[in-house]
């Protein structure tokens, strides 16, 4: 008769199944550990991670807090709690958790990146950029951090630096559709229509139902003077997302350029109506 598995063996088995995507088998091992040792921080962390993976962020946060209350000081537990709290709409508590993760392990790149994303939402742009730079110094292979850094720089109007960040993301993953779209959007703004068009085409080949790629492609085609194709692209964007004001405005502009004034007027009115329905942008604090 074989000996019962030790706690370490059960955790290792659970991790194996977890990595294979067999969550039921993983949870069986983690739960067995917790039956024998309800304060086992590793098992609590893994069960919390499964809860968050399933979108059960409140449960994940509760489990992570239990692990911390039992003396777990691992940076990963604080980081997981921060991610759960962010998804629960508690950014101030989330950033405290990311700070705790960094205090525990200053070289924890993911926590620096997560902290940066919270700071972006709080419009603390300089601090966010410092956190992205720290995260990427520690883990230059993080495509998501390069993407988010690029988006921040793009919002700040620092186009060349943003393009460089997107180029880093695309060097890591040439099939990163959102990076192609964001990069092409900057190129559109610089009137580099042909390069933008190529970027949008690549994004659409990767993700055909990305409405912002079709809309951006329409703007690039309009810039290139290819008006019939631009109109078709705006129609495709509207098919995918009918309440997109900019798509209707772009359609109106293209129709006007084609000399179809009445149709242009209808599209312009539709754009104005959608803009009137949009909720007001949140006011920024001091």
Q: What pLDDT sits at residue 284?
A: 38
Range in 46-60, 124-138, 244-258 with the lowest mean pLDDT = 46-60
Q: Which residues have C-beta within 8 Å of that of residue 90, sequence separation ≥ 6? A: none
Average pLDDT for 249-265: 96
What's the N-to-C CA distance of the chain in angstroms? Answer: 69
For residues 30 and 60, is the Cβ–Cβ distance under 8 A?
A: no
Other Cβ atoms closer than 10 A to 141 = 12
282 pLDDT band (50/70/90 cuts)? Answer: very low
| One fold for 8-106 and 174-278 | yes
Closest by Cα among 258, 215, 216, 272 to 238:
215
**pTM for the full predicted model:** 0.86
Q: Which tens digit of pLDDT belongs to each residue from 8-46?
A: 888 888 888 888 888 888 888 888 888 888 888 888 889
Entry field: residues in the chain: 286
CATH superfamily of 174-278: Tetratricopeptide repeat domain (1.25.40.10)
1 pLDDT band (50/70/90 cuts)? Answer: very low
Domain boundaries, the chain: 8-106, 174-278
Q: Which tens digit of pLDDT belongs to each residue from 201-233?
A: 999 999 999 999 999 999 999 999 999 999 999
What is the CATH number assigned to the segment(s) 8-106?
A: 1.25.40.10
- In percent, the amount of the chain with pLDDT more than 90 equals 75
Give the span between the Cα atoms of 43 and 47, in whole angstroms: 6
Average pLDDT for 76-93: 95
Q: Is pLDDT above 70 for 283?
A: no
């Amino acid at each position: 008769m074989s000996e019962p598995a030790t706690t370490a063996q059960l955790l290792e088995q659970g991790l194996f199944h977890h990595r294979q995507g067999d969550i039921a088998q993983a949870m069986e091992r983690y739960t067995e550990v917790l039956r024998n040792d309800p304060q086992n921080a590793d098992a609590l962390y893994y069960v919390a991670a499964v809860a968050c993976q399933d979108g059960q962020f409140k449960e994940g946060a509760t489990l992570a807090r239990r692990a911390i209350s039992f003396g777990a000081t691992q940076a990963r537990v604080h980081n997981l709690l921060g991610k759960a709290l962010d998804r629960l709409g508690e950014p101030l508590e989330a950033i405290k958790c990311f700070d705790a993760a960094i205090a525990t392990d200053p070289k924890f790149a993911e926590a620096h990146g997560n902290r940066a994303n919270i700071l972006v939402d709080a419009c603390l742009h300089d601090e966010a950029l410092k956190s992205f730079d720290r995260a990427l110094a520690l883990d230059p292979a993080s495509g998501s951090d390069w993407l988010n850094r690029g988006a921040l720089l793009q919002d700040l109007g620092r186009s060349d630096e943003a393009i460089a960040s997107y180029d880093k993301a695309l060097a890591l993953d040439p099939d990163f559709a959102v990076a192609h779209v964001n990069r092409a959007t900057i190129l559109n703004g610089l009137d580099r229509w042909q390069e933008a068009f190529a970027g949008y085409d690549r994004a659409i080949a990767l993700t055909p139902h990305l409405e912002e790629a079709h809309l951006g492609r329409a703007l690039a085609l309009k810039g290139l003077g290819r008006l019939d194709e631009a109109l078709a692209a705006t129609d495709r964007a509207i098919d995918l997302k009918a309440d997109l004001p900019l798509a209707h405005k772009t359609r109106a502009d293209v129709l006007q350029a084609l000399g179809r004034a009445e149709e242009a007027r209808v599209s312009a009115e539709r754009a104005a109506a959608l803009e009137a329905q949009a909720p007001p942008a949140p006011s920024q604090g001091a």
